[in-house]
A and B are shown apart, each in its own frame.
Chain A
């Protein structure tokens, strides 16, 4: 039920059952699948808008992938409990990458209440408890133990077949995570364990371990194996990228660079290899791995005790491709529009970390943070508003500002707005004149949507970055249907509330307010 007392839109036809679980099979305006952070955020946001929906999950508790992973039980995204803003403020979210976002101050920054102070990276159980706490405090209900099994169309409805029966809906949101093991095709790959099948770490004592992959999951395992394994070999065709040299989340996070350092200083325990895997073969109790180096230097053969494919994950989207859902990339994630709708089947939406397959503009090659909670939690809120507006005609009221209020707000948001800082060049704050001397604050919107949709005169403000590590505000002014880009200078302290920027913004905003 919505918590603000507003009426729910759309009638639900539900059966009578003695099953105490919520959301029995039947017809709902929207069905959300998944009880990880993506599904919880979207359910919360739909409820606050008054959109009735069913939230179903195959699991028996909230948390999604955080009920099990990361393998070494600590996240790679931080939360800093003590910053210049209080935990209950929206601005605090910039420093907290892990909590779900709430309208109510008391439900913000919840993960700080579960962290024990031993690290700014929450442990997996702390994250799991934080998600459970969010669901409990905000009244999110989930039908657990309800596994989505198949999908079909029936006129203008989607029908989701589940282990409990059929759900019919106008719009379906699949927030099913990217946590199904994915292996590339290569001879003998079936002999390799997947990251998901890694054994307790002490069973790797004094063993030679070959890790296929050089991204975060491979480096997470390598970091955890350092005190145990005799030798670690990490191999993939292209060189290791590090986040601290790409100046983005593209590459191995700083938290896992120790194996990299071991390799580059010749520590003797770790080998990083740019090579394709030609074959994995049985070799007595162990394995023989044949590799070919990417620089043409020839074949290298390794005899090892274990082979682990740290080759990533895919989304368990079941039969959706058969319904026409296009997929993209090596791990075949669903291709999406800038508003996280299937790029090929309208009415099917995605939530959570699957949003990484809606890449946005990727200006200067910089990725969004949609694969992480800190990114997709904002997408989820926007997606809920989009579904509410386009399917049910629910449009929240927007604040109308006096012209003199716009520039201080813009400067504040460019310096402190968590959506703009977590989703650089991906989400933007949008303002437009109301035709009677006021400026409507349209809130946060995908930048690509603003740029491509066209429409009345408006301005969009975002934070951008480039491969050289410069972070700066960028504004987009739409006048007469034409969009122009306006880059503001960076600031050493990332504080853009300068007189220079105030003047520049005044110049930009003036044509909008007349």
Chain B
């Protein structure tokens, strides 16, 4: 079921990247982001196509698939699409719903303004990116 606005705000508050925000800020964000639902096996991000977005998973599970191989699994609270948007390049992998997936979506063109308006979210995203980098470095070493 789709959530009421209040439930969306509560859900946002429970996600790590929004954990530092006040309730009015969360309500603002809940208004700014669209919710999308993807059935199982539906592609969300498409490798090589321009004009993508940032997705934040509210519910369900997705897989990043590059050259036919699953390279990562994503679940509630995870976000994806940010690298493509930040670099202004098409995604280098598909992201596919492996269970019915519910996401909040922020259009790529809105991300810069969004991060500047919400510096605490930017900081949390940076922390997450740092963890991904550390884990990737560990796997290689």
Contacts and interface: CB of A to CB of B under 8 A. Distances in A.
Interface of A: 184-185, 236-238, 274-276, 292-294, 296, 321, 326-330, 332-333, 335, 337, 343-344, 359, 361-366, 425, 451-452, 464, 466-467, 483-485, 487
**Which of B1, B32, B36, B37 gathers most chain A CB within 10 Å?**
B37
A292 B38 CA distance: 34
B37 A335 contact: yes
Interface of B: 1-2, 4-6, 8, 22-25, 27-28, 30-32, 34-39, 42-43, 46, 48-53, 90, 100, 102, 105, 107-110
Contact of B37 (A276, A328, A364): A328
Nearest to A241: B32
Nearest to B41: A452
A294 B110 contact: no
Nearest to B52: A363
6 contacts: A276-B27, A276-B28, A326-B1, A327-B1, A362-B107, A365-B53
Contacts of A361: 46, 49, 51
Contacts of A275: 24
**Which of B30, B51, B90 gathers most chain A CB within 10 Å?**
B51
A300 B34 CA distance: 27
A353 B108 CA distance: 26
Given A327-B37, A330-B5, 15 more contacts: A185-B4, A237-B30, A276-B24, A294-B24, A294-B25, A294-B27, A296-B22, A327-B1, A328-B35, A330-B2, A332-B1, A364-B107, A466-B51, A485-B48, A485-B50
B37 A237 contact: no
Given A184-B4, A238-B31, A274-B28, A365 B110 contact: yes
Contacts of B53: 362, 365
A227 to B, nearest CB: 30
DSSP majority for the B interface? mixed
Contacts of A332: 1-2
Contacts of B37: 326-328, 335, 343
Contacts of B28: 237-238, 274, 276, 294
Given A237-B27, A274-B28, A344-B39, A329 B2 contact: yes
Contact of B49 (A236, A321, A335, A363): A363
B44 to A, nearest CB: 10
B108 A185 contact: no
B9 to A, nearest CB: 9
9 closest A-B pairs by beta carbon, nearest first, are: A365-B107, A363-B51, A335-B37, A467-B109, A364-B51, A238-B31, A328-B37, A343-B39, A327-B2
Given A184-B4, A487-B50, A236 B39 contact: no
B66 to A, nearest CB: 13
A321 B1 contact: yes
A333 B102 CA distance: 14
A240 to B, nearest CB: 11
Contacts of B42: 337, 343, 452
Contact of B5 (A184, A335, A359): A184
A210 B140 CA distance: 60
Nearest to A425: B51
Contacts of A326: 1-2, 37, 100
A365 B85 CA distance: 12
A452 B2 contact: no
Contacts of B32: 238
A65 to B, nearest CB: 22
B4 A328 contact: no
Contacts of B46: 361, 451-452, 483
Contacts of B110: 365
B34 to A, nearest CB: 7
A238 B118 CA distance: 13
Contacts of A362: 53, 105, 107
A236 B31 contact: yes
